Amino acid sequence: MMKTMGALLLTSSLFAGGGSTPAEAKVSNFKFDFGDGPVEKGYIVVSASDGYSAEKGYGFATPEHMRNVPAKGTGVGADAVQFLQFGTKSMNTFNVDLPNGLYEVTVTLGDTARASVAAEGVFQIINMTGNGAVDKFQIPITDGQLNLLVTEGKAGTNFTLSALEIDKLSHHAVTNRTIYIGGDSTVANYYPLAASIQGGWGQMLEQFVDPKEFVVRNMASGGQIARGFRNDGQLEAILKYIKPGDYFILQLGINDTNPKNNTTEAEFKEIMRDMVRQVKATGATVVLSTPQGRATDFNAEQQHSSENRWYRHSIVGLAQEEQVPLVDLNVISSAYFTSIGPDETRSLYMTGDSLHPNRAGAIELARLVYEELKRQGMDGFVEKKEKE
């Protein structure tokens, strides 16, 4: 099928019988295949040169800043478009007219080392890594249009988009109950999500969450510090959507202690306090978590401990001062590591890396977080573990 046929099919479905389509008759489910290669069955073709028009109901706001590019995947992943201008506030967006409501958006990237997805002027997905990465997010549409782009993940890399699927979940433009997570590389997502070798506990926590109660939005990113999470867009995205009944779990400190980041412990604590107070003001529940230790933190008696590392004492003190729940993952994980011993502990970390958990390690850390949250009386969790 030629790509032009996809556009003709969309036009006929939107405007059968001619004339304008009333707002209530807008299409609310789409599948877009980007680039100039063959179109996949069931998808609407979008080339980099396809500008938005109200008649069509979709297109790029500034097609002059888009480019068709090849991609190494198959099917919809065999080609893509590249965003030549980007940034969460950029006007160089792909726009889709939609009836107001709640939507699930599935994104497939083209060839890129690392890229993030933004919509409605804020981050939606942080640091998708590798060619053809796939992820999804929920978003409420309140102004009749989705405005999306692929943007910064790693400077100097291409920001590309191969496919987009949009499915309406509800007429109500309100996010489902959500667990938002903030953190660093020990918490972040790794791709492909279902089979990554490395893992962050935030990526794996969903396995212990009842999908009827919560969706999980992991906004953690590698190398992140408290100041960066607050100032560079991740907290902004959470504050845009978070509401009473939601949870926000925040774990930072590992990178803040690195001298290159120039953050004293006192500064770290006050930045964290500011974030806690901003989220508490929305009526959501804030949970602070301390980072787990290194695989090598065993003493001569084979006891694991890292209590004096990574500004843990300030995190514990802040939780007490602001009266928010604390998951002391540092102490909890050390007890677990002691129980399984040094060899089994090392097997839960990446090879040759004492800091970053592998997939199995991330699952165990997520289990410890889940068990502690459940112990403290928080709802929405279920006993479940990925089969190895």
At position 62, the amino acid (one-letter code) is: T
Q: What is the pLDDT of residues 19-28, one digit of tens each?
A: 334 444 578 8
- Please tell me the predicted confidence (pLDDT) of residue 12: 38
pTM beyond cutoff 0.85:
yes
pLDDT at 249 over 80: yes
Could you tell me the sign of the dihedral formed by the alpha carbons of 152, 153, 157, 163, in that order? Answer: negative
185 in active site: yes
Q: Which CATH class is domain 178-375?
A: alpha beta
- Work out the average pLDDT over 93-122: 97
Domain-by-domain residue ranges, the chain?
Answer: 3-170, 178-375
65 in active site: no
Q: Which has more pLDDT, 295 or 387? A: 295
Catalytic entry in 47, 116, 256, 356: 356
313 in active site: no
Catalytic entry in 28, 185, 306, 333: 185
First vs last C-alpha separation in the chain: 40
Q: CATH assignment of 3-170? A: 2.60.120.430
Catalytic entry in 53, 353, 354, 379: 353
Strand-pair category, 163-170 with 247-250? unpaired
Strand-pair category, 163-170 with 101-108? antiparallel
Query: What is the rounded distance in angstroms from the CA atom of residue 160 to the CA atom of residue 253?
Result: 32
- Work out the average pLDDT over 124-147: 97
- Please tell me the predicted confidence (pLDDT) of residue 152: 84
pLDDT at 354 over 60: yes
Q: What is the pLDDT of residues 277-327, one digit of tens each?
A: 999 999 999 999 999 999 999 999 999 999 999 999 999 999 999 999 999
